[in-house]
Amino acid sequence: PAVPAPDLEGVTAALNAAMANGAPGAMARFTGPDGVRTRTVGVRDRVSGEAMDTRARFRIGSVSKTFSSVVLLQLVDEGRLELDAPVNRYLPGLLPDERITVRHLLTHRSGLADYTDQMFARTVPGFEAVRNRVFSPQELVGLSLALPRTTEPGAAYKYSNTNFVVVGMLIEKTTGTSLARQYERRVIKPLNLRHTSYVHPETRIQGQHVRGYLHPDEEGAPLVDSTEQTVSWAQAAGAVISDPADLNTFTTALMRGRLLSPRMMDAMTTVTPTDAAQTRFYGLGLRRYDLSCGTQVYGHTGTVQGFYTYAFATRDGRRALSAMANTSNRGAVNTVLGGTLEAAFCGKPAK
């Protein structure tokens, strides 16, 4: 069936709105039946003035969660661990509640508190305190377990980075190798994602990249260049680096069934609502957005100091959009950047 052409003026308007709300720059890449369309606004580097460039890499934040979920679900497909088994069967003694299962982690229904709420309660001091730190995943889980659980296991959706730190531990324990190696072997190499990497705890972004700028909490305070950091506070929950082309390759390949069995794709895309309006949903390490034109898109959003990211595709994998603005701690920027989804997937609003 014919699909609406992307509204590229609408995409550009959303990117300009991101700048108007405080992003030094923004960009989007749409892949569809009529080929690739890219749009860029502003700068990727405020000092050099170099223009935003869709060939530049950046930190994708929680879009990493979908990479981690794919790796874990491949291990489930291979029978090496079970979705409804207790996490403690594979990581004995890690969690204080045997009822928390692998599936609870992937659906944010474990009840494990998110340590980043406290870690980044004060945005810049919190960031400066950890930007060069290297944490073990056990340390991060320890930070979470020092806080009260947020729900009984399975009872409710409550987003928490802790869940995917544990997913990373499950991947390393089950395979006996590093997370980086598993991303490489199971996703990056097979899809030839040449600008995607997991280099934790290296702080630099290799190759041509976007510099990210963090808004302090104090109105009017100067932006903080947050480009170099270990992202050790996030690891499997947020430390992957990629670029717009690789993200579209990843989401379309995922939706076309190139990474997981049909059975596992069904499990991954079985969602529950996360908002009252019931337009936002979460499956297994995967978000679903139901757009105004009825199109449902699957993928993930990302927020890491200096970078907001959206990476989504249609269920048939025929259309994909990735968008990024190089700032953070500015909710309005994140919201308007999300406007690229409606423009790209729903096209020009009917006259």
Residues that bind ligand REX (CB under 6 A): 61-62, 116, 120, 123, 126, 161, 214, 234, 237-238, 301-305, 328-329
Q: Least distance from C-beta 35 to ligand REX, angstroms?
A: 28
Q: Least distance from C-beta 162 to ligand REX, angstroms?
A: 10
| Cα gap 340→54, rounded to integer Å | 15
Q: Which long-range contacts (CB under 8 A, 24 or more apart) does 224-227 make?
A: 224/124, 224/127, 225/46, 225/306, 226/127, 226/131, 226/305, 226/306, 226/328, 227/306
| Cα gap 80→151, rounded to integer Å | 28
Task: Return the structure tokens found at 159.
Answer: 């987003």
Task: Give 232 or 305: the residue with its C-beta nearer to ligand REX.
Answer: 305
Task: Give 32 or 110: the residue with its C-beta nearer to ligand REX.
Answer: 110
User: How far, CA to CA in Å, does 187 sit from each of 56, 197, 248?
Assistant: 20, 10, 13
Task: Return the structure tokens found at 327.
Answer: 């700032």
Please provide the size of the chain in residues. Answer: 351
| Cα gap 301→281, rounded to integer Å | 12
Task: Return the structure tokens found at 12.
Answer: 């550009």
Residues belonging to the active site: 62
- C-alpha angle with apex 108: 265 to 186, nearest 5 degrees? 40
122 φ, ψ (degrees, to nearest 5): -105, 110
Q: Least distance from C-beta 214 to ligand REX, angstroms?
A: 5
Q: Least distance from C-beta 65 to ligand REX, angstroms?
A: 7
Task: Give 69 or 305: the residue with its C-beta nearer to ligand REX.
Answer: 305
**Sequence letter at residue 128:** E
Q: Least distance from C-beta 141 to ligand REX, angstroms?
A: 16
